Amino acid sequence: MAGLDPLVIRSLEFLGGMAGAEGWRPETKLPEVAFAGRSNVGKSSLINKLIHRKKFARVSNTPGRTREINFFEVNKKFVLADLPGYGYARVSKERKAAWRPLIEGYLRGSPSLRGIVQLLDARHSPSVDDLQMLDFLAKLGTPTIIVATKIDKIAPSQRADRVEQLAREAGVDLDQVIPFSAVSGTGRDELAAAIVGLIGDRS
């Protein structure tokens, strides 16, 4: 018998986008969970799978297009913050320079932030940008969940070894890493349960 869904989606509302470190942000006292990762790491697909929606978080054919932090209220219980993807080579230096203060300003200045979901592509070693983000998060001290995306692209017999290697390369504990596939749904419930744990919702 399948287990109970740890995060049943009863309501979902797009609150708006934050375009600058000092710009608009939702006036809410709800706990927030932020999602971060390189462009093309599969973040939109992961969010859509997590919330059981096909196209709620837009899946772009042009990595690096999203320029804002997008906020979604889930079940009137917590706010999901979708951070702009970083590290895409074709994005201008000016836009990259604008993203860093936006992302870091949000992460530093969010008293309601309960944790970060940091995405890494399971097929590749963490990039310089990934390692810089992980170092920043470690200094910030906010609880961080590592999600190894696109695990379906790796042969089943090689997945455990690859996830273990990725954890070593990222400098995190193996039990901090959740293998995930937006195609098969692998890891969806594990991630949902981890988020519920972050926001402290036991209902």
What pLDDT was estimated at residue 55? 63
Structure confidence by residue, pLDDT tens digits, 78-104: 999 999 888 654 555 565 566 678 888
d(CA 90, CA 70): 22
Residue 52 has pLDDT above 70, yes or no: yes
What pLDDT was estimated at residue 57? 60
Q: What is the mean pLDDT of the chain?
A: 87
Length, in residues, of the chain: 203
pLDDT tier for residue 26 given thresholds of 50, 70 and 90: confident
162-185: average pLDDT: 97
d(CA 169, CA 131): 9
Phi-psi domain of 37 (left: phi exceeds 0; alpha: psi -120 through 50; beta: other): left
52-65: average pLDDT: 57
Please state, in angstroms and as integers, the Cα–Cα distance from residue 3 to each residue in 153, 174, 198, following that order: 25, 24, 20
Place of tokens 């932030």: 113
Place of tokens 């200094």: 139
Q: Which residue has the higher pLDDT, 89 or 35?
A: 35
